Structure 1
């Protein structure tokens, strides 16, 4: 019996009702409801319904896909050398033991953080430990796995007799802001541990915890003390429990939770009434907005309700308004309906993580291949371009065009403490650093999925290994590539015995005439996927050749970024670090960046616009394929026009190779 089957049996034994799988349907693209460009719908009194939709693809068990190559190296390095493995030693917020010995009570509040908020350490510790657990077991780093297991065992000892797990003692339970949010932060890690290890104890603990919450909250019972929009993220826990058990009570409770939240938080960006008004702009805290998109997304698919379908369509249309060329979206920290100016608008690392996960969730549910392009863009560019390659620090707030990094706003008008590199950002909030430990693991989780009618699907590309079961036959699959720094992917399939099934390959929108070869296979196009079907034998291979060209991406300020494959390119601006704080652990510091040379005013040449502005993609020499963001493996070489009208030779590198000062967008001369 494999780990995935074990988890389902464990979950089913603890669920009070088992439901049949969702109604099967064709793997459609999109949501139920009105088209995204329809007029706003505000009358929801009749709650129109349509037939339920099955998701286009299904998540595999976390851990079925393991990273390889540079992705594994980055995760391992972050754990062994970066703050991802040491955050608890760098700041007390991550090691306050808020879920066990230091729960909040009337007698003692756990408020040892910058703003003195009693739930905040629950976010920091829960989010960091969840990311640490995923990174440890996916990268198979022995020391990190031992630490993760010890923490999980420690937390499980704190579970009360009624099943409660959380950051509050009995006298404050379900009475304070952040209750469901901090539960979500904790349970995300415990669910991940259960999937990664097949732990019965962890799975039972999560189910008992959810049953405790549903016994207190719900129709005819108490409601959460709404006021902290993070609390709606509890729907993520309910969705995964629903996936694993098929029990409809999780869906029912999530629907009630969203409707209750929408009633009490009517003006929030993603309340039902707000989303049904497609013209209304987003103004809230970006991380809240981008994470709460997932609740109506799941509910629209799972229930088939037309109003929820319209709402979810509208949320993704709104996201487009705020998305920058690097893939992230305005969040500084509020959105305030600001356009994503690449020089003046910033994005928070928490928002970057939440957008990535939301796009992956939409890719799984709708099958819309363009969403895979967007996931790759945000992780390869905005996420990598906001961190140091060695994992020692990130910037809390980042602009695509980072011309300054000096503790002030991009225009220099005011102090902005979030504008620096730090392993903690403890003087503001220890939220972005813990959140950043999730992005690689979430990317790996979404690399491969299964098709409801059989077969596997390559959804996001990169070096990895997959172990799963198809048609009751154990399968291992190896994806050999240094993508996105090369355009070739080799997939080696190794079933225990010969078995026939399709493999869906997402065809990126930027690839022109993708070529797929597989001896003896039927290769056909199905929408934006290339489907390879055959009776697979050991060591059968699929060869994929993507064909990128240099493309332009227009920013809202009229300037253009250059994209090649999934990578966005930048002109690095030489700078020197100015240390503004040190930590007891060597190698960690807060720092500003001081430009060594003033940024030159360069423009793209209009006469060569239709030939990639005259740039050519070139493999760079001397870089390490396992550490591709230390030294660039790929560059765009060409010329730009200076202020004097003369041609200037320019070398552009991927955003992740220019995490410091840089320019991503340029005017056209």
Structure 2
């Protein structure tokens, strides 16, 4: 049985007392009560959080992982404003207070999502300054009625919605703003998001989440609604969450769309709604969707499936490819479901994609990428492979100037992976849920700051060494994930 299909073993929890011995036991997942007192998890009546995301910057990559992020920052994605026409500043609708201009669709927020988080993880001053320009542009764009961003989005002009709101580009920018708030604490983000969510509450039902992309990817908006609710407690947001779920494609009924990125991004939406519904069927739907994708089109190594733009009957072998966008969205879905459920099988699956698929989508120096990557097709040429691959054209060619959506969107894969290596737990402990060389600094127990250095060559080796430092003696739970492939923990 391949690693991707194995059942997660769970976590080993150590009751860490620096002045004495650790008590060791195995648990399936962390407890959900009492709530963590240092970091923001789910607020009632949402289901309690077994794992809570630490703020950007709490986890810093070291070793080979730092080198990976450094290459991304120095490569095409870290300098995309210099080569992408969609990131040209003069006349860019995402930098206009009036929301007027060009390039007002998904490309700028796609890029900013990965670029900004790479900056937060590395503490890179050049990238932080560039991030601030685009964040300030979004913050300055809000209208009195609550809408923000390009005016073309309000009118649906970029996607033929004929005067109805195209909510998809703003979904991406909301993630950029949320991450910026977690990094900076800038209260303007909360004000903007609250006003925008009130705007969405007033959008008539027949105009809400219309259009192909918004409907398929409404789970991203649902996550943002819960993110804001957990910080403000505004009750109307729970009603908005129900509205979003109601109008999102019915992923709870199965894999209802076979576009590879929609699948990777949308399959877990029922699991997100599970936090409010508390119906186990919604969480199970996410698992069932994953199993369906892998069973029907996942006869490939690397944790993904064959969807070279769409999955197609009869095209199921390892020569089929997957978009780079699909890889990073699959990773993010796994990371989200890991936090929601506490089930470490999602960590196993995330590592499978991260280590066995994503690296092949770019050159080693991060100076170029390709649109499609296939496990059993090592070619990286410009020649058309259709109809063997559904998408025609130079889809396998390593080139930093083309592959429009993936060119901008691929950047959040590694930074989000870094941020999710360690999680806070409900019992004021810490959990190592993904493994890679890093340092983490976080509050535990009574608020004592603990610093942990993780030395490892994982996944190139199986040894992990943790060095724990604190200013005083403190006892706290320390959870260590036991990977599903580990036969003798």
Residue in 2 that maps onto 1:88: 81
2: CA distance, partners of 1:297 / 1:176: 32
1: CA distance, partners of 2:154 / 2:484: 54
Deviation at 1:348, TM superposition (A): 0.6
Q: Report which stretch shifted further, 293-302 or 281-290.
A: 281-290
SS at match of 1:504: strand
Is the CA contact (8 Å cut-off) linking 2:308 and 2:389 kept in structure 1? no
Q: Does 1:433 align with 2:407?
A: yes
Q: Does 1:226 align with 2:211?
A: yes
CA shift digits 1:474-502 (9 cap, x unpaired):
22222122222222111122223222111
Structure 2 length normalisation: TM-score? 0.82
SS at match of 2:155: coil
CA shift digits 1:231-288 (9 cap, x unpaired):
51322322322343444533432222121234xxxxxxx544x42xxxxx66521111
Which protein has the bigger helix share?
2
Residue in 2 that maps onto 1:199: 186
Cα-Cα RMSD: 3.0
SS at match of 2:443: strand
Residue in 1 that maps onto 2:261: 287
| Equivalent residue runs for 1:43-122 within 5 Å | 53-80=47-74, 82-95=75-88, 97-101=92-96, 110=102, 121-122=104-105
1:21–1:79 Cα change, 3 Å: same
1: CA distance, partners of 2:413 / 2:69: 10
2: CA distance, partners of 1:436 / 1:248: 35
1: CA distance, partners of 2:163 / 2:455: 49
Is the CA contact (8 Å cut-off) linking 1:283 and 1:335 kept in structure 2? no
2: CA distance, partners of 1:170 / 1:292: 21
1:161–1:180 Cα change, 3 Å: same
Residue in 1 that maps onto 2:3: none
Deviation at 1:138, TM superposition (A): 0.7
| Equivalent residue runs for 1:185-196 within 5 Å | 185-196=172-183
CA shift digits 1:528-587 (9 cap, x unpaired):
xxxxxxxxxxxxxxxxxxxxxxxxxxxxxxxxxxxxxxxxxxxxxxxxxxxxxxxxxxxx
Is the CA contact (8 Å cut-off) linking 2:99 and 2:141 kept in structure 1? no
1:156–1:309 Cα change, 3 Å: closer
| Equivalent residue runs for 1:280-429 within 5 Å | 283-321=257-295, 322-323=297-298, 324-337=300-313, 340-343=316-319, 345-406=320-381, 407-409=383-385, 415-425=392-402, 429=403
1:103–1:56 Cα change, 3 Å: same
Which protein has the bigger strand share?
1
Residue in 1 that maps onto 2:31: none
Deviation at 1:368, TM superposition (A): 2.0
Residue in 2 that maps onto 1:605: none
* Matched residue count: 441
Is the CA contact (8 Å cut-off) linking 1:218 and 1:257 kept in structure 2? no
Deviation at 1:175, TM superposition (A): 5.9
Q: Does 1:240 align with 2:227?
A: yes
Is the CA contact (8 Å cut-off) linking 1:283 and 1:336 kept in structure 2? no
Structure 1 length normalisation: TM-score? 0.61
SS at match of 2:69: helix
SS at match of 1:362: helix
Residue in 2 that maps onto 1:21: 43
1:243–1:66 Cα change, 3 Å: farther
1:420–1:301 Cα change, 3 Å: same
Higher relative contact order (CA closer than 8 Å, sequence separation 6+)? 2
Higher Rg: 1
Is the CA contact (8 Å cut-off) linking 1:477 and 1:491 kept in structure 2? yes
Q: Any gaps of 5 or more consecutive residues in structure 2?
A: 1-35
Residue in 2 that maps onto 1:466: 440
Deviation at 1:133, TM superposition (A): 0.6
Residue in 2 that maps onto 1:258: 245
Q: Does 1:164 align with 2:147?
A: yes
Is the CA contact (8 Å cut-off) linking 1:467 and 1:474 kept in structure 2? yes
2: CA distance, partners of 1:403 / 1:171: 43
| Equivalent residue runs for 1:255-654 within 5 Å | 255-262=242-249, 270-272=250-252, 274-275=253-254, 283-321=257-295, 322-323=297-298, 324-337=300-313, 340-343=316-319, 345-406=320-381, 407-409=383-385, 415-425=392-402, 429-471=403-445, 472-514=447-489
Q: Does 1:136 align with 2:113?
A: no
1: CA distance, partners of 2:487 / 2:440: 27
1:377–1:178 Cα change, 3 Å: farther
SS at match of 2:212: coil
2: CA distance, partners of 1:302 / 1:339: 38
Q: Any gaps of 5 or more consecutive residues in structure 1?
A: 9-18, 24-51, 113-120, 263-269, 276-280, 515-669
CA shift digits 1:424-450 (9 cap, x unpaired):
32xxx5111222100011111211112
